[in-house]
Amino acid sequence: MSMDELSIYLYVIGSGITVVVFYSYIVYLYRSEKHGKKDYEKYGKIALDDEIDSTPVETNPEPVNKNKE
């Protein structure tokens, strides 16, 4: 098999894998939401409600300096 042929096969396989990986990720994101495992859109609120004393969207259970609080 020549380098040209090999590169054609690699491009086709590579493109196929890329398409599958990214579409799978989209499906994963939507299915996680549909089955109630994750609500991705709630993270958008992090930028809006960003006061230091406001309630986090997801509280970090173990901040490094929690012992001092």
Partner 1 sequence: MQSNAAMEYDYSIVKLYMWTTVIFGIVGMLIGVIIASQLAWPQLNYWLGEYGTFSRLRPIHTNVVVYGFMISGIFVGFYYSAQRVLKVSMGESKLLMTLGYLQFFLYLIAASGLVISEGMGITTSKEYAQMEWPLDILIVVIWVLWGVIMFGLIGMRREKALYISMWYYVATFLGVAMLYLFNNMEVPTQLLSGGLGAWYHSVSMYAGTNDAMVQWWWGHNAVAFVFTVPIIALIYYYLPKESGQAVFSYKLSLLSFWGLMFIYLWAGGHHLLWSTVPDWVQTMASIFSVILILPSWGSAINMLLTMKGEWNQLTDNPLIKFMVLASTFYMLSTLEGPIQAVKSVNAIAHFTDWIPGHVHDGVLGWVAFMVFATLMHSAPRVFKREIYSKSLLEAQFWIQTVAVVLYFTSMWIAGITQGMMWRAVDEYGNLMYSFIDTVNVLHPYWVIRAVGGTLYFIGLLMFAWNFFMTATAGRKLETEPQFRSPMA
Counting Cα atoms < 13 Å in the Cβ hemisphere of 14 gives 6
Q: What is the CA radius of gyration of the chain?
A: 22
Tell the smallest beta-carbon distance from residue 56 to partner 1 (Å): 4
Q: How far is the CB of 64 from partner 1 (least distance, A)?
A: 5
Residues that bind partner 1 (CB under 8 A): 3, 7, 11, 18, 22, 25-26, 29-30, 33, 40-48, 50-54, 56-61, 63-65, 68-69
Query: Based on CB atoms, which residue is closest to partner 1, 1 or 48?
Result: 48
CA 52 centroid distance within chain: 25
